[in-house]
């Protein structure tokens, strides 16, 4: 993920670039990238992810994917697809997961993968994650059978851990053989471009980033209808609701809203009731 950020910095000749969620080096797919002022909006993107994964049974590696050293390999011939379908239901909902030892999680200020490479053995802290759905796409039987799945989940979920734990629950071992993230932070694979395409578009002068408004489509809107309100917003002032057009979901609740004008997204505000008056309090001002 950091390599991708560095490449985008080089291509666009700008230092202010950030990403919206780590993607394993062996994986492909969606990596949300923000440039310029939009990097300040990354924390407000939705956290949901979606993956297409291939899990191979009968194999275990040090990294829980095919990048690591094989430490177990035994043919599996007595597992049926219906058994796998039933076992996968145990992963749905809020579950406790142990991330792979080779991961970017920090323990005592150190990345786990750096500790693993140094040969240190420590207890990996568990975490609660949410799995919304797992659908079986394909089943390839054999000595080392593979099941292809589509997974919808919350942020922080490790698909490698699902592969490992599925194998364990089936009485064997499991490893992640392929991973594609086809949705992340509300952005889809179909709307993505490759680094090569980015460079070509930049050279041709045709590159246009996704608008912040679209990336924040999950948030209700508060649209400032006159120039004076836009000026007050740019000065970081709290705004009363007079002269502001709210989407229906914004008018009746507390929480974050994307603040808009005719020229686009102006930042993030928070709806608050202060001394009985409903206000929009600036959180991120982009102008």
Residues belonging to the active site? 24
Spatial CA neighbour of 202 closest among 211, 191, 193, 214: 193
Q: How far apart are CA 230 and CA 261, in angstroms?
A: 7
Angle between helices 159-169 and 81-88 (to 10 degrees): 120
CA dihedral (176, 181, 182, 187) in degrees, to 10, reads 160
Q: How far apart are CA 17 and CA 14, in angstroms?
A: 7
* CA-CA-CA-CA torsion sign (225, 228, 229, 230): positive
Spatial CA neighbour of 74 closest among 62, 58, 60: 58
Cβ-contact 23, 1 below 8 angstroms:
yes
Exposure on the CB side of residue 96, measured as CA atoms within 13 A: 3
Say if residue 276 is exposed, middle or buried (CB neighbours under 10 Å; 0-12, 13-18, 19+).
exposed
Cβ-contact 172, 79 below 8 angstroms:
yes
């Amino acid at each position: 993920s950091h390599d991708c950020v560095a490449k985008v910095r080089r291509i666009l000749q700008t230092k202010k670039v950030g990403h919206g969620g780590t993607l394993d080096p062996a994986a492909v797919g969606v990596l949300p990238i923000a440039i310029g002022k939009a990097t300040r909006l990354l924390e407000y993107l939705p956290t949901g992810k979606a993956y297409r994964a291939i899990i191979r049974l009968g194999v275990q590696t040090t990294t829980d994917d095919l990048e690591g050293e094989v430490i177990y390999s035994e043919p599996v011939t007595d597992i049926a697809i219906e058994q796998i379908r039933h076992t996968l239901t145990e992963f749905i909902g809020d579950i406790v997961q142990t991330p792979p030892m080779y991961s970017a999680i920090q323990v005592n200020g150190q990345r786990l993968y750096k500790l693993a490479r140094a040969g240190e053995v420590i207890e990996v802290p568990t975490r609660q994650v949410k799995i919304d759905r797992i659908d079986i796409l394909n089943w390839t039987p054999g000595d080392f059978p593979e099941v292809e799945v589509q997974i919808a989940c919350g942020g922080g979920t490790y698909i490698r851990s699902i592969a490992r734990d599925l194998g364990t629950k089936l009485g064997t071992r499991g490893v992640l053989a392929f991973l594609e993230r086809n949705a992340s932070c509300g952005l889809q694979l179909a709307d993505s471009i490759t680094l090569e395409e980015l460079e070509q578009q930049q050279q041709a002068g045709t590159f246009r980033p996704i608008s912040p408004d679209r990336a924040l489509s999950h948030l209700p809107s508060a649209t400032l209808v006159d120039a004076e309100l836009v000026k007050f917003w740019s000065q970081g002032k709290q705004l009363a609701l007079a002269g502001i057009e709210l989407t229906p979901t914004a008018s009746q609740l507390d929480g974050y809203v994307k603040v808009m004008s005719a020229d686009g997204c102006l930042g993030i505000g928070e709806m608050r009731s202060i001394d009985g008056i409903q206000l929009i309090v600036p959180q991120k001002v982009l102008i």
